Amino acid sequence: MKIKELFEKKEKTFSFEIFPPKTPEGDIKLIHETLKELSLLKPDFVSCTYGAAGGNKDKTLALVEHIQKAYDIPSMAHLTCISHTKDEIHEIVKKIKAKGIQNILALRGDPPRDNPDMVPGIDNYKHSSELITFLRHEYKDDFCLGVAGFPEMHPLSPTRESDIKYLKHKIDCGADFIITQLFFDNQIYFDYVKSVRSAGITKRIIPGILPITSYDGLIKFCNTCGATVPEKVHKIFAPIKDNSEQIVKAGIEFAIAQCKELLSNGAPGIHFYSLNKVQPLKDIISSVR
């Protein structure tokens, strides 16, 4: 099923993002334990990343195919473009279609880890809008296309206005919905939605939420992706950063409060960055769904 078809049936959706593990042991745990437990939470759809540095595209497609076949859950494959040639992208998309995958999150992506200063050339799609244009031209309506939105602005965007302009271009090229980068201050999301709507974008904007399970890990991750960690988060989690049990408990409470406020003020669902963890999501979903 295409995710946009879900939107016609459900005012609010609850979905998860997973990633391919780096080790065979991780693969076994994800396939035989984590996905089974996540499926019991009845997500409306699941997305799967390329993993660290975008290096696991084959695992991504295998996981998405498995989730659809084993659990009958609509699933979405991430597809990044600058680290692949156009010919490679064309071959990947052929595999996506052959596996019966109907949903793609179209992304620019990061340069390869072994070539961080790579500059995309004539043989690459330089922007996700170019990838979307290709998909719509070659495959028409075969795929439902999601894109990323950045409530605090993409790190490469010079201004907030230009960031919204780029988002509008992605939508005009054929994207069907938006999932946002993580954030911890809901006002950032509300302000972003207002700006996006003012630009004439009417597509669904699903907030992306990261349940906090590690304070140090959170700081490190947000430093790499450009998300702000507000003072209220520091005040809650810094004093208990060495107590993992308290961190998880506080993280669940924070996420529940954040999600309830978002949903009660018009957010069309929640997309959880699960980090392949089940337990926080069990408590959060049961409280906010």
Mean of all residue pLDDT scores within the chain: 94
Q: Is residue 43 part of a domain?
A: yes
Q: Is residue 46 part of a domain?
A: yes
User: What pTM value is reported for the model?
Assistant: 0.95
What pLDDT, on a 0 to 100 scale, did the predictor assign at position 225?
Answer: 85
Closest C-alpha among 246, 283, 282 to residue 41: 282
Tens-place pLDDT, residues 128-166: 999 999 999 999 999 999 999 999 998 888 999 999 999
What pLDDT, on a 0 to 100 scale, did the predictor assign at position 51?
Answer: 61
Helix (H) or strand (E) holding 130: helix 128-139
Is a pLDDT exceeding 70 seen at residue 262? yes
Q: Is residue 82 part of a domain?
A: yes
Q: Are 215 and 236 in contact (CB under 8 A)?
A: no
Tens-place pLDDT, residues 26-56: 999 999 999 999 999 999 999 999 864 445 6
Domain with 171 in it: what CATH number?
3.20.20.220
Q: Is residue 227 part of a domain?
A: no
Q: Is residue 228 part of a domain?
A: no
Percent with pLDDT over 70 in the chain: 96
Q: Is residue 223 part of a domain?
A: no
Q: Which residues are tagged catalytic?
A: 17
Is a pLDDT exceeding 90 seen at residue 182? yes
Number of domains in the chain: 1
Q: Is residue 240 part of a domain?
A: no
Q: Is residue 242 part of a domain?
A: no
What pLDDT, on a 0 to 100 scale, did the predictor assign at position 53?
Answer: 46
Domain that holds residue 270: 3-214+251-288
Q: Are 30 and 278 in contact (CB under 8 A)?
A: no
